[in-house]
Amino acid sequence: MSANVIKFVEDEAANWERDKRVMSSRLAGTSLREIAEHEGCSIEDVETSIVRQSGGVSPNFRERHMQLSLERLDRLLRAHYTAALKGNYDSSVIYLRTIEMSGRFLGLFPPPQPDAPLDKLKPIESSTEEIRSVLDELMGRKSTIEGQVVAQQDGDNA
């Protein structure tokens, strides 16, 4: 397992101030690329600043981020709702994706299931049980006679 190395520049006070500006810009919805251009640094430096500022995701930070994201999604919904009703395809797609995203944020959709629901109804035979079944058939322990029952006629003595 490798650790992420967070680089510090010589002037820690200036670095701290930049980290605060980067974090507030990011929380305001500015993209990483825009922040990097504004601060005159790389996108990697911006990401490093965010890691230093957050130190981990606290419940308070998570709640603020979710609240901010939901507000943005609400703005998108309002902006595209009328156009979607008028038949604008792009607005309809954006509107539906926005609804789906807000539903995921709120936990309204269950996580994807790896198996189809009907797969759980089938009995699952382990590889050991499969091998045992084949060996039993080879040894004659599972003898099944397949055929039809036929009524005997009076003239047959067989």
Q: What is d(CA 47, CA 42) in angstroms, rounded to the nearest whole number? A: 9
In which band, very low, low, confident or very high, does the pLDDT at 81 lie, cut at 50, 70 and 90?
very high
User: What is residue 152's predicted lDDT score, i.e. its pLDDT?
Assistant: 80
Mean pLDDT of 127-146: 78
In which band, very low, low, confident or very high, does the pLDDT at 64 lie, cut at 50, 70 and 90?
confident
pLDDT at 57 over 70: no
Question: Tokens 């604008």 label which residue?
Answer: 88
Residue of 63, 39, 61, 12 lying closest to 47 (CA atoms): 39
Whether the model pTM is above 0.85:
no
Mean pLDDT of 54-60: 70
Torsion on CA atoms 22, 23, 24, 29, rounded to nearest 10: 90
Q: Please, which residues have CB within 8 angstroms of residue 84's CB and are 6 or more apart in sequence? A: 91, 92, 94, 95
